[in-house]
Amino acid sequence: MRIVLNLGKGGVGKTTTSAASAVRAAALGHRTLVVSTDIAHSLADVLDRPLGDEPVPIAANLWGQEINVVAEMRRRWHEVRPRLNAVLQREGLDAVASEELAIVPGMDELVALAQVNELSKSGSYDAVFVDAAPTGETIRLLSVPETLPWYIERVQNLGKKIPRIARPLAKSVIGDAGGFLDYAGDLSSLVKDLRVTLVDPEVSSYRLVVNPERMVVKEALRAQTYLNLFGYPIDAVVLNQILPQPQSDDPFMQQLWQQQQGYIRWVEDSFRPLPILRAPRHAREVIGLAALDDLAESLFGRCDPTAVLHRGPTQVIEPIDGGYRMRIPMPNVEAERLNMAKRGDELFVDVGNIRREIALPRVLAPLEAAGATLRDGFLEITFVAPAEPQAAASG
């Protein structure tokens, strides 16, 4: 069983990439589902078929689905939410505020992930391709298995922390069968199961979809950092909308093509050793199964989209005495020259003729990059706390 999530900034081609991958997988004989978790669905438009919140047959071995997150939330949360809402209102909150607070943080993201997980384990499909929401929302969605247990634990300890609220909570919510804490236990089990699925590189893969544009690539670099922090296995980068070399001397097209070439080299340098799947800019919109099959040919050639295209993290951050060390795979690179510069939460490393731009997580952003070295095919960068300024000597 394989789950492949395509992530990226809005408008880069996640939907067409997901649909094209699914079309090719189905043609290779895999029972394949392509599903959208984005509230602003466009999967049906790309497939040129009506879709609903249940899997709909599209072609041989191919099904499509647009998850209705709102309906799924109501189905899973409808028994517990009114209880918690009533308790909060009795504590003095108005109806609107209590209604908002009665939603567990991350619940909308969690139900989307839970349904994907259920579909993958149903035995009905060999592969599920997920057209995910834009990067920021997807990173928040993927962080739910990390953050929701913290929230549940705090609610379970609420009686000890705030005695005045604890009594009505205990009577109206906690004490009743089917109350919030019973449901919280179910959520904890669900989250643990999700976590196992999402970090297993033989089951789940994450593919970053980018266009050769500055803001798009920078957002993908940040997504790569956070996916690595959570242990989610990235196995490829999809480089979409590549312009063909102009056949005329039109200065506008020449300049546009030259600019793209610079961004393409940036993607190649910054995301290695991940494979880069390339797709050209099409003269017409990619809509319908035939057009999606053409796109799949550009992206995968003879490769199976369900295959694991890369194994191993693209970044590892580990604590060391006095700071942290970041290790980045850089095989077959000679350290003819090694230069490094840090600006805010961005690190720029030049190794030979390769420039690597790294988006730093919050834990590393305030630290100093104290040194870098190449060892056993890895670039190792050490981060330490900034030195304390020396007090001026008194005269």
pLDDT tens digits for range 237-285: 999 999 988 888 888 989 999 999 999 999 998 888 899 999 999 888 8
pLDDT tens digits for range 185-218: 566 666 677 778 888 999 999 999 999 999 999 8
pLDDT higher than threshold 90 for residue 361: no
| Residue 100, pLDDT score | 46
Which residues are bridge partners to 129 per DSSP? 4, 34
Confidence class of residue 347 from pLDDT cuts 50, 70 and 90? confident
pLDDT higher than threshold 80 for residue 387: no
pLDDT tens digits for range 289-336: 999 999 999 999 989 999 999 998 888 888 988 889 988 887 766 666
Kindly state the helix (H) or strand (E) to which residue 381 belongs, with its residue range.
strand 378-384
User: What architecture does CATH give domain 316-384?
Assistant: Sandwich (2.60)
Q: Which residue has the tokens 């035939």?
A: 290
CA distance 179 to 158: 14
For residue 207, give the amino acid letter. Answer: R
CB burial string 42-66: b at 16+ within 10 A, e below: ebbebbebebeeebbebeebbbbbb
Give the distance between the most distant pair of CA atoms in the chain. 86
Lowest mean pLDDT among 44-58, 162-176, 195-209, 327-341: 162-176
Q: How far apart are the first and last CA of the chain?
A: 74
Superfamily of domain 2-300: P-loop containing nucleotide triphosphate hydrolases (3.40.50.300)
pTM for the complete prediction?
0.79
**CATH 3.40.50.300 intervals, the chain:** 2-300
CA distance 125 to 120: 6
Could you check whether the bond before residue 273 is cis, i.e. omega within 30 degrees of 0?
Answer: yes
**CATH 2.60.40.790 intervals, the chain:** 316-384
